[in-house]
């Protein structure tokens, strides 16, 4: 007869569905770079401490270290969107505290393709004497594109 094993932890910690990679992807997807920070060229990390209630919702967020210029408010907004899976153990309502770092980087500006247009026309050779004709729109047109 085998003896039943006790669970390793008395209270199970909340888990984000999909793990830490899924949580990072969620934060990156919903995070918007604030206009105020873009004007001033602000980059950096906002450190937050958040509280997860017994339902798995984030109900309170404290800023440990912030950047200002709208970055702190945006980080708090995104963290409050997180939802965790919390297993109920022995009918206890437990509140959990976790820390997270939200990174802000300037968005890369897409460069427009630069297009230069040159117009080449042909003229008669110097030795030939011809009556000058009305200017025609003959010639070659070349387009050169610089793709970066």
Q: For residue 82, tell me if it sits in a domain.
A: yes
96 and 48 together in one domain: yes
Contact status, residue 34 vs residue 66, Cβ threshold 8 Å: no
83 and 58 together in one domain: yes
Phi, psi at residue 142, to the nearest 5°? Answer: -120, 140
Which domain range does residue 119 map to? 114-146
pLDDT on residue 65: 93
Domain CATH number, residue 49: 3.30.2420.10
60 and 127 together in one domain: no
Q: What is the pTM of this model?
A: 0.65
122 and 88 together in one domain: no
pLDDT on residue 4: 72
pLDDT on residue 115: 60
32 and 73 together in one domain: yes
Four-point Cα dihedral 82, 88, 92, 97, nearest 10 = -30
Q: For residue 87, tell me if it sits in a domain.
A: yes
pLDDT on residue 71: 92
pLDDT on residue 89: 73
56 and 38 together in one domain: yes
65 and 138 together in one domain: no
87 and 128 together in one domain: no
31 and 96 together in one domain: yes
Q: For residue 67, tell me if it sits in a domain.
A: yes
What stretches in the chain show pLDDT beneath 50? Answer: none
pLDDT on residue 139: 63
Closest Cα partner for 44 from 99, 98, 106? 106
* Total structural domains within the chain: 2
Contact status, residue 92 vs residue 81, Cβ threshold 8 Å: no
66 and 118 together in one domain: no
Q: Reading across the β-sheet that carries 44-52, which strands appear in turn? A: 58-65, 44-52, 96-104
Phi, psi at residue 78, to the nearest 5°? Answer: -70, -40
Contact status, residue 84 vs residue 13, Cβ threshold 8 Å: no
91 and 132 together in one domain: no
Host H or E run for residue 63: strand 58-65
């Amino acid at each position: 007869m085998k003896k039943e094993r006790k669970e390793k932890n008395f209270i199970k910690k909340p888990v984000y569905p999909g793990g830490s990679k899924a949580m990072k992807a969620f934060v990156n997807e919903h995070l918007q770079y604030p206009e105020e920070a873009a004007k001033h060229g602000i980059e950096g990390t906002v450190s937050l401490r958040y509280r997860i209630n017994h339902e798995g919702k984030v109900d309170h967020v404290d800023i440990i270290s912030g950047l200002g210029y709208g970055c702190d408010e945006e980080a708090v907004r995104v963290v409050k969107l997180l939802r965790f899976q919390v297993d109920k153990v022995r009918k206890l309502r437990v509140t959990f505290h976790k820390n997270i770092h939200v990174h802000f980087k300037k968005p890369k500006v897409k460069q427009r393709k630069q297009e230069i247009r040159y117009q080449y026309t042909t003229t008669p050779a110097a030795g030939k004497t011809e009556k000058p004709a009305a200017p025609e729109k003959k010639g070659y047109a070349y387009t050169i594109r610089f793709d970066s």
